[in-house]
Amino acid sequence: MTPPPQWPLRLAIGITAFEALALVAYAMAIGIAGRNSRGSTVTATGVEIAIYLVFAALIGLVCFGLLRRNSLARTPYLIVEVFVGIVGWTVLSGDGAWTTAVGAVILVLGAVGVVNSLLPGLMALLEPDEEPPAG
């Protein structure tokens, strides 16, 4: 029997790693913008950064689960990608050409992730190999 293709798992790992790193970069950008803004408070900016970093860490844990081929990582992966799609739709409906373009990219990334999470090939790669019965 031929092994299943590896690309669904590699795609899932790549998507989650990119999303976690992008969220860290976004949190850093908020921190930099908050330092240069007169109207923001340190506490509000700090809390916002902390929330984004917690989400990035959670997405990183999903990525780690996928790297370990843990079948329990599939559902959190799907949930993360659904939320990425929601964020993409929200950003897409914003004002400005750049905002719309970024929203479209985020929405497409979430859609690709959702479709990828539903592929039977991904589940086959995440399920542990069955050991033959003894005897």
| Tens digits of residue pLDDT in 64-83 | 999 999 999 999 999 999 99
Residue 121's contacts (CB-CB under 8 Å, 6 or more residues apart) are 4, 5, 7, 8
Q: DSSP letter for 37, please.
A: -
pTM of this prediction? 0.85
| Tens digits of residue pLDDT in 77-101 | 999 999 999 999 999 998 899 999 9
Domain ranges of the chain: 7-126
